[in-house]
């Protein structure tokens, strides 16, 4: 885990070279995987026009409409200042401090306490919080969470995660299509069945590799966002308090109520797990609560702030 190099409050979100390098490496590796994947599909399906058109359409939809898709999936809606003046006030202040465009502000009518940011760039970004989060957090804690989400936008890692997840989405869709095609496609000759089996195998391998690459990047970007938010606000203990409170409250929400949200874990402030994921932590989208609080505790010490909650 990288050490803090700045010991005073920032006026902007500080760039993170290690995050930038990781994003570049991830996109490069996924790009190679993407080219190989498309080439394999063209060779197997013998229709490069069909493959290219489908891939281009799905990529374009995911890139240009990722914010709308995420808001729709999480029942979020854009809210105006007169509806949530305090929320808008915090976002206004943080955007001014960070010298970045103010994102669109949205609220999701969900009991699960959480937040996420989405959008292809800082000029087309959305930050969304749930009503469950708004009810639970103190003003300083909410500021820490929103600073965390805005740092994702400033670092442009939201766009990178959106682009990076595209290949996995395509591979997953192809696996499903091939699977149901085999089940309900009627009788097929041996050559067709062999092609479908190879397509499923290639797609499954691509999905698995992209899954691992995205998880590795996602865990680091969460630590980078915590670090940037703590330095921008100068109050890492408030962010630590929010993390502790939100993680504990999510653990008490029935697992069945979290299943829909889990598909978007990579974008959330904290993952929607009803309990510790066990061995799944190696494939988790977020670092453990222990790691995040340890980092914030170190920042608190360097800033001369009181120790972060949950740490002595």
Q: Residues marked as binding for Zn(2+)? A: 148, 152, 222
Known active-site residue 302: no
Distances (CA, A) of 24 to 76, 123, 163, 304, 311: 31, 21, 12, 34, 34
Q: Which residues are annotated as a binding site?
A: 148, 152, 222
The Cα 311–Cα 290 span in angstroms is 10
Q: 163: buried, middle or exposed (CB in 10 Å: 19+, 13-18, 0-12)? A: buried
Question: Among residues 80, 143, 149, 276, which one is catalytic?
Answer: 149
The Cα 46–Cα 164 span in angstroms is 26
3-state helix, strand, coil in the chain (%, to 5): 70, 5, 25
Q: Could you report how far apart the first and last alpha carbons of the chain are, in Å?
A: 20
Q: What are phi and psi of 117, to 5 degrees?
A: -125, 145
Spatial contact of 179 and 45, defined as CB atoms under 8 Å apart: no
Q: At what angle do helices 190-233 and 17-45 cross, to 10 degrees?
A: 170
Which are the catalytic amino acids?
Answer: 149
């Amino acid at each position: 885990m990288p050490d803090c190099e700045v010991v005073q409050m920032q006026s902007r979100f500080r760039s993170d070279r290690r995050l930038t390098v990781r994003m570049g490496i991830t996109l490069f590796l996924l790009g190679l995987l993407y080219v190989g994947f498309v080439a394999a599909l063209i060779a197997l399906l013998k229709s490069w026009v069909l493959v290219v058109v489908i891939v281009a359409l799905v990529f374009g939809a995911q890139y240009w409409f990722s914010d709308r898709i995420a808001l729709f999936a999480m029942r979020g809606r854009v809210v105006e200042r007169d509806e949530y003046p305090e929320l808008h006030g915090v976002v206004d202040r943080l955007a001014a401090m960070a010298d970045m465009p103010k994102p669109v502000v949205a609220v999701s009518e969900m009991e699960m306490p959480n937040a996420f940011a989405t959008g292809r760039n800082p000029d087309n970004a959305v930050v969304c919080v749930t009503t469950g989060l708004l009810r639970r957090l103190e003003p300083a804690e909410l500021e820490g969470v929103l600073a965390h989400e805005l740092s994702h936008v400033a670092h442009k890692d939201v766009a990178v995660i959106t682009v990076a997840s595209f290949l996995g989405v395509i591979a997953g869709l192809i696996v499903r299509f091939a699977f149901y095609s085999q089940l309900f496609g009627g009788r097929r000759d041996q050559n067709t069945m062999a092609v479908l089996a190879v397509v499923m195998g290639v797609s499954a391998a691509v999905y698995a590799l992209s899954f691992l690459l995205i998880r590795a990047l996602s865990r680091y970007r969460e630590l980078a966002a915590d670090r940037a938010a703590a330095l921008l606000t100068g109050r890492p203990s408030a962010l630590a308090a929010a993390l502790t409170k939100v993680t504990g409250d999510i653990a008490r929400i029935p697992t069945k109520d979290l299943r829909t949200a889990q598909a978007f874990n990579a974008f959330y402030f904290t993952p929607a797990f009803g309990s510790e994921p066990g061995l799944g932590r190696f494939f988790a989208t977020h670092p453990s609560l222990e790691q995040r609080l340890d980092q914030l505790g170190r920042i608190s010490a360097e800033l001369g702030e009181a120790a972060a909650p949950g740490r002595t």
